[in-house]
Amino acid sequence: MQDCLRSEYAPCEVYHVGKTGDGGGIDLKLVLSDKETFLIQVKRRSDLSKREGVNVVRELNGVLFREGVSKGMVISTARGYTKAAERELNVKTDTSETYLVRLLDYYDIVKMLNLPMVNPYRPWRDYIDVSKLSEYTIESEIF
């Protein structure tokens, strides 16, 4: 991710500052200018079908507050973010700087790497009768 961010936000500096199991701190620091620094939390998930939850955004917000930085990013291999995680972006801060947190997911990572978007291999979809699915089943979750 460090190299992807260097390429995506050039010219910039990207520093690796975290370690595996560091307790939810930050992993990368992206410096665009003297006045624009992003603290970044990177999450690699083994189950790509799930969405990233609110806790990772709250953890980042806590680090931003502690460090006095108003910009951050969560980059996750999850397929997206929960609505609660997205709502957490609307927190109010007592800073005069513009608060900004970006949430990047699997699809954003694929785009940064300039890879083709490929639908997951799901051979069972040929055998499912969509008309018999429960009204509570979200078709996109199956397909």
pLDDT of residue 130: 60
**Does residue 125 belong to any structural domain of this protein?**
no
β-pair partners for 36: 33
Report the SS3 class of residue 13: strand
User: DSSP secondary-structure letter at 92?
Assistant: -
65, part of any domain: yes
Q: How confident is the model at residue 23 (pLDDT cuts 50, 70, 90)?
A: low
Residue 111 lies in a domain: yes
- Which CATH number do you get for residue 16? 3.40.1350.10
Q: What is the pTM of this model?
A: 0.74
Query: Rounded mean pLDDT of 8-23?
Result: 82
Q: Work out the pLDDT band at 142, boundaries 50, 70, 90.
A: very low
pLDDT above 90 coverage of the chain, percent: 40
Domain count within the chain: 1
The verdict on residue 26 lying in a domain is: yes
- Residue 128 falls inside a structural domain: no
Residue 104: domain span: 2-117
Q: Which amino acid is at 140?
A: S
Are residues 77 and 106 in contact, defined by beta-carbon separation less than 8 angstroms?
yes
* Residue showing tokens 């595996």: 20
Q: Domain for residue 142, yes or no?
A: no
**Considering the domain boundaries, does residue 129 fall inside one?**
no
* Residue 103 forms part of a structural domain: yes
The pLDDT tens digits of the residues spanning 100-135 come to 899 999 888 888 888 776 665 565 666 666 666 655
Query: What is the mean pLDDT of the segment spanning 24-42?
Result: 88
Q: For the stretch 82-113, what's the b/e string if a residue is b when 16 or more beta carbons lie within 10 angstroms of its beta carbon?
A: beebeebeeeeeeeeeebebebbbbebbeebe
Residues 5-10: what's their mean pLDDT?
A: 90
